[in-house]
């Protein structure tokens, strides 16, 4: 047998003299051993931690420093010497953001970064369908892989505390259980595709106004019971690989430098082993961030090698001012994420803009649409009877996906409401369009904020001049039509649903109250479609139009999804993830009218409403909301059978099952969201009157019944007890209410947890 090592052909071993053989063996050994000596960190078969330790042991101090701060807008430097790629990340949360220049916020000007624009976070939550959240995460993962991204800056899970919050549209609503279910499912969908999620913004980033400096004063219970659960579930249930610190302060320290939040709660109590990155330009000091639990500094407004975790950190470690061990821990966490995404092992190829991705976008958008009101069954529209349709409003033609701040997407295409309606009508009716209102012209100021948001100013004078004439024309169009559809609401412009600022009022902007009132007076068959990510006031006109639909920002398929619902191809099944108040003063954050509660005074904002956020407040204070949390109508009707409750285990092992039959008693197929709220009876501590603890979405053909099973555990009944720093269930009684919204409770059963219990942390 001849052994071949490249060009040299050797005789068989036996034919050679012993010394030659020994030498040759040595030579051959070296070559043959080469693959066996491939660094252990490259061996995909080894446990992740072993690979991380091996890689860490090979790094110089300078290389470690290069891993813990940004080297471009959205990467760190990697370790070129060892072939370790930069950790590449992208916004988030609604798809993969367009490519940004390495060292400025200017778009990179690429043509391969048109992406699938999914509906916004609030819309996803409004589906109450966690399977869709998993699919949503899967779409983003595939597109992220195609774009070479390791981390997607998604999901955003901050609780909607005020209806004015500029980023409410990105988040999963006002309830911690709902938000945590959507956080978990989105993260699972994403990370199953070898892309790390980055849950944000940890924590208490509940307003945009003063977001960089405001110090949140909140009780321990509200922190644990409302503001942290979605993050906790992201870590403990979904195994999220990264977390983004928030801009604001808590306990006097910025959240990206916050020992209590990052070291004690996140990494200590919850055992988080992934990496904590800063929000962009949210770090304020080397020592504070280094000891405060931050692992990766991003977006600081300085040259990259001047970042707090760049040269200043290198020098501090060299001088011995800061210890090496925490630096190693930070590097470990960065490497763990990189390796967990299989960045060194060859990930499956990605895919962009596939028909499947577009189908997910459309399904999420359609299932998110909430039918708020439908008196006289005006909807769904029947093209056998409707021959002229007036589509009125700026949002009928406005492209939304490319705006809103860091969540904007360079959509491959976007079907506007008008385009979707025209396509669906397909020439069977005449569609006429009138603008109805004109948002003020926004002029760029040439300034860009820390997050890369171009700053604008408004031309309010032009707005006033246009308003009357536009309304007159819209009314004329409505008179000509069998049905008028006003597509209004908010947009992603300045002071609307946009990052960097909160809204200034609950009212619909741009003169729409008058527009809607006059169109509805001119045509009794008026449908109002609201495109918005936050509650808006409707009292000035709500009595008049028979139908009101909340369509959110539905992503690139928004117009198709809206037409699906308006014409009855899809039966609406969305439910509100936030309460719609009648007026701002009805909502907890604004009830006092004091700046202390919003937006804050002397640098601090006090969450005095405590546990009573969202519907918890409206229930406790017996305030009638405009539309309650969980509300959403259907074109059919559902009946709920009496409940059966059973339980197994006790203490921390308690499992409670609540079962009922849901029946579609109408004539159309549809889906109902079965919602379970617990009401404590005789609790030994203050508790909200009811809290959502389980839900399930069930699709039913006309006349069909299905059993629905909802499960609860000890934590479902527990409150956080700051005196023992743990979750505790008092042996109180509970009423379990099941129904179609927080105010549409159909069936109730009593339940007594077998014994009081303190849950392990
Ligand atoms: C936002 C983050 C975003 C980051 C990067 C920040 O301004 O708060 O949500 O991920 O910018 O664009």
List, as one string, the DSSP characters of 600-619.
-BTTEEE-TTTT--THHHHH
Question: d(Cα 757, Cα 214) in Å, to the nearest integer?
Answer: 37
Question: d(Cα 68, Cα 291) in Å, to the nearest integer?
Answer: 13
Polymer length in residues for the chain: 761
Would the CB of 194 count as within 6 Å of ligand 1? no
Question: d(Cα 44, Cα 256) in Å, to the nearest integer?
Answer: 33
Residues with a known catalytic role: 279
Question: d(Cα 68, Cα 486) in Å, to the nearest integer?
Answer: 50
Full-model pTM: 0.94
Q: What is the pLDDT of residue 464?
A: 62
- Measuring from atom 11 of ligand 1, which residue has the nearest CA? 451
Question: What is the position in ligand 1's atom list of the atom closest to the CA of 500?
Answer: 7
* Ligand 1 mean position, distance from CA 406 (Å): 5
Helix (H, G, I), strand (E, B) or coil at 654: coil
Question: d(Cα 157, Cα 537) in Å, to the nearest integer?
Answer: 24
Would the CB of 63 count as within 6 Å of ligand 1? no
Helix (H, G, I), strand (E, B) or coil at 21: helix
* Ligand 1 mean position, distance from CA 451 (Å): 6
The two most distant CA atoms of the chain are separated, in Å, by: 107
Would the CB of 91 count as within 6 Å of ligand 1? yes
Would the CB of 218 count as within 6 Å of ligand 1? no
* Ligand 1 mean position, distance from CA 502 (Å): 16
Question: What is the position in ligand 1's atom list of the atom closest to the CA of 449?
Answer: 7
Question: d(Cα 118, Cα 126) in Å, to the nearest integer?
Answer: 14
- Measuring from atom 2 of ligand 1, which residue has the nearest CA? 279
Question: d(Cα 80, Cα 86) in Å, to the nearest integer?
Answer: 8
Please, which contacts does 508-511 make with residues 24 or more away whose CB atoms are closer than 8 Å?
A: 508/536, 508/537, 508/538, 509/439, 510/394, 510/437, 510/438, 510/439, 510/440, 510/463, 510/467, 511/437, 511/463, 511/467, 511/471
* Ligand 1 mean position, distance from CA 602 (Å): 25
- Measuring from atom 12 of ligand 1, which residue has the nearest CA? 406
Question: d(Cα 393, Cα 438) in Å, to the nearest integer?
Answer: 8
Mutate to test the pocket of ligand 1, among 93, 298, 405 (most ligand atoms within 8 A of CB): 405
Per the CB < 8 A criterion, the answer to whether 612 and 588 are in contact is yes
Strand segments (E) across 135-241: 151-153, 196-202, 215-217
* Ligand 1 mean position, distance from CA 111 (Å): 23
Would the CB of 180 count as within 6 Å of ligand 1? no
Per the CB < 8 A criterion, the answer to whether 143 and 584 are in contact is no
Per the CB < 8 A criterion, the answer to whether 125 and 172 are in contact is yes
Question: What is the position in ligand 1's atom list of the atom closest to the CA of 198?
Answer: 10
- Measuring from atom 7 of ligand 1, which residue has the nearest CA? 451
Mutate to test the pocket of ligand 1, among 406, 448, 501 (most ligand atoms within 8 A of CB): 406
- List the beta bridge partners of residue 277: 244, 296
Q: Going by C-beta distance under 8 Å and a sequence separation of 6 or more, which residues neighbour residue 636?
A: 571, 664, 665, 666, 667, 668, 669, 670, 702
The token duo for 543 is: 């009595």
Would the CB of 211 count as within 6 Å of ligand 1? no
Would the CB of 406 count as within 6 Å of ligand 1? yes
Question: d(Cα 410, Cα 334) in Å, to the nearest integer?
Answer: 29
Ramachandran quadrant class, 664 (left: phi over 0; alpha: psi -120 to 50; beta: rest): beta
Which of these, 93, 97, 226, lies nearest to 169 by C-alpha position?
A: 93
- Measuring from atom 8 of ligand 1, which residue has the nearest CA? 279
| C-alpha Rg value of the chain to the nearest Å | 28
- Measuring from atom 9 of ligand 1, which residue has the nearest CA? 406
Would the CB of 92 count as within 6 Å of ligand 1? yes
* Ligand 1 mean position, distance from CA 279 (Å): 6
Would the CB of 246 count as within 6 Å of ligand 1? no
What is the β-pairing status of strands 638-640 and 196-202? unpaired
Question: d(Cα 680, Cα 692) in Å, to the nearest integer?
Answer: 12
Per the CB < 8 A criterion, the answer to whether 138 and 195 are in contact is no
Question: d(Cα 309, Cα 682) in Å, to the nearest integer?
Answer: 52
Per the CB < 8 A criterion, the answer to whether 519 and 179 are in contact is no
DSSP 426-438: TTSSEEEEE----
Where b means 16+ CB within 10 Å and e means fewer, 349-371 reads ebebbeeebbebbbbbbbbbbbb
Mean pLDDT, all residues of the chain: 93
Q: What is the pLDDT of residue 459?
A: 66
Question: d(Cα 558, Cα 415) in Å, to the nearest integer?
Answer: 6
Would the CB of 200 count as within 6 Å of ligand 1? yes
Per the CB < 8 A criterion, the answer to whether 158 and 205 are in contact is yes
* Ligand 1 mean position, distance from CA 382 (Å): 44
The token duo for 720 is: 């956080």
* Ligand 1 mean position, distance from CA 297 (Å): 13
- Burial class of residue 17 (count of CB atoms within 10 Å of its CB; 0-12, 13-18, 19+): exposed
Q: Give every residue of the chain whose pLDDT is below 70, as ranges.
A: 1-36, 449-454, 458-466, 731
Q: Tokens 């252990």 belong to which residue? A: 40
Q: What is the pLDDT of residue 757?
A: 85
Q: What is the pLDDT of residue 549?
A: 98
């Amino acid at each position: 047998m001849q052994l071949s090592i490249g060009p040299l052909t050797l005789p068989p071993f036996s034919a050679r003299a012993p010394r030659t053989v020994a030498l040759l063996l040595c030579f051959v050994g070296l070559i043959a051993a080469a693959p066996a000596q491939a660094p252990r960190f490259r061996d995909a078969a080894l446990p992740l931690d072993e690979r991380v330790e091996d890689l860490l042991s090979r790094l110089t101090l300078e290389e470690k420093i290069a891993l813990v701060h940004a080297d471009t807008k959205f990467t760190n430097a990697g370790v070129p010497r060892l072939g370790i790629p930069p950790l590449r990340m992208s916004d988030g949360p609604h798809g993969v953001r367009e490519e940004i220049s390495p060292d400025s916020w200017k778009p990179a000007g690429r043509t391969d970064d048109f992406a699938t624009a999914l509906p916004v976070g609030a819309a996803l939550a409004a589906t109450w369908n966690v399977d869709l959240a998993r699919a949503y995460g899967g779409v983003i993962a595939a597109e992220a892989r195609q774009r070479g991204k390791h981390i997607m800056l998604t999901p955003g899970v901050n609780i909607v505390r005020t209806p004015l919050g500029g980023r409410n549209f990105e988040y999963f609503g006002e309830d911690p259980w709902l938000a945590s279910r959507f956080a978990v499912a989105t993260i699972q969908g994403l990370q199953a595709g070898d892309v790390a999620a980055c849950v944000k913004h940890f924590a208490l980033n509940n307003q945009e106004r003063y977001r960089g400096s405001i110090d949140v004063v909140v009780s321990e219970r509200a922190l644990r019971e409302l503001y942290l659960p979605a993050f906790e579930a992201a870590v403990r249930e979904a195994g999220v690989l990264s977390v983004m610190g928030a801009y604001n302060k808590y306990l006097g320290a910025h959240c990206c430098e916050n020992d209590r939040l990052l070291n004690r709660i996140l990494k200590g109590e919850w055992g988080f082993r992934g990496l904590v990155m800063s929000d962009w330009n949210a770090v304020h000091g080397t020592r504070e961030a280094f000891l405060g639990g931050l692992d990766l500094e991003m977006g600081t407004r300085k040259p990259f090698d001047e970042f707090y975790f760049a040269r200043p950190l290198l020098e501090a470690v060299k001088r011995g001012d800061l210890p090496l061990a925490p630096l190693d821990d930070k590097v470990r966490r960065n490497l763990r994420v990189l390796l967990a995404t299989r960045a060194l092992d060859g990930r499956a190829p990605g895919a962009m803009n596939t028909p499947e991705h577009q189908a997910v976008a459309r399904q999420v958008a359609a299932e998110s649409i909430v039918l708020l009101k439908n008196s006289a069954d005006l909807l769904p529209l029947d093209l056998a009877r409707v021959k002229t349709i007036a589509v009125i409003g700026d949002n009928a033609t406005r492209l939304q996906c490319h705006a809103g701040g860091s969540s904007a997407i360079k959509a491959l295409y976007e079907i506007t409401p008008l385009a979707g309606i025209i396509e669906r009508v397909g020439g069977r009716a005449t569609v006429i369009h009138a603008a109805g209102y004109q948002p003020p012209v926004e002029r760029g100021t040439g300034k860009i904020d820390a997050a890369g948001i171009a700053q604008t100013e408004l031309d309010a004078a032009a707005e006033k001049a246009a308003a009357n004439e536009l309304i007159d024309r819209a009314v004329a169009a409505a008179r000509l039509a069998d049905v008028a559809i006003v597509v209004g609401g908010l947009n992603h412009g300045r002071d609307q649903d946009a990052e960097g600022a909160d809204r200034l009022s609950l009212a619909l902007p741009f003169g729409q109250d008058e527009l809607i009132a006059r169109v509805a007076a001119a045509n009794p068959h008026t449908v109002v479609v609201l495109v918005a990510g936050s509650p808006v006031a409707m009292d000035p006109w709500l009595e008049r139009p028979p139908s009101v639909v909340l369509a959110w920002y539905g992503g690139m398929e928004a117009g198709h999804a809206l037409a699906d619902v308006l014409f009855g191809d899809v039966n609406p099944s969305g439910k509100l993830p936030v309460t719609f108040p009648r007026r701002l003063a009805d909502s907890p954050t604004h009830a006092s009218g004091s700046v202390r509660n919003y937006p804050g005074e002397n640098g601090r904002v006090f969450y005095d409403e405590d546990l009573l956020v969202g519907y918890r407040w409206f229930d406790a204070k017996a305030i009638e909301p405009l539309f309650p949390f969980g509300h959403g109508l259907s074109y059919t009707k559902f009946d709920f059978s009496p409940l059966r409750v059973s339980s197994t285990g006790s203490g921390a092992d308690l499992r409670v099952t609540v079962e009922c039959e849901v029946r579609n008693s109408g004539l159309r197929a549809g889906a109902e969201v079965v919602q379970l709220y617990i009401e404590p009876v005789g609790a030994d501590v203050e508790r909200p009157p009811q809290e959502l603890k389980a839900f399930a979405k069930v699709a039913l053909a006309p006349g069909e019944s299905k059993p629905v099973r909802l499960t609860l555990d000890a934590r479902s009944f527990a409150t956080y007890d700051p005196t023992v720093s743990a979750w505790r269930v008092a042996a109180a009684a509970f009423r379990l209410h099941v129904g179609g919204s927080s105010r549409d409770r159909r069936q109730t059963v009593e339940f007594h947890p077998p014994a009081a219990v303190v849950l392990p942390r």
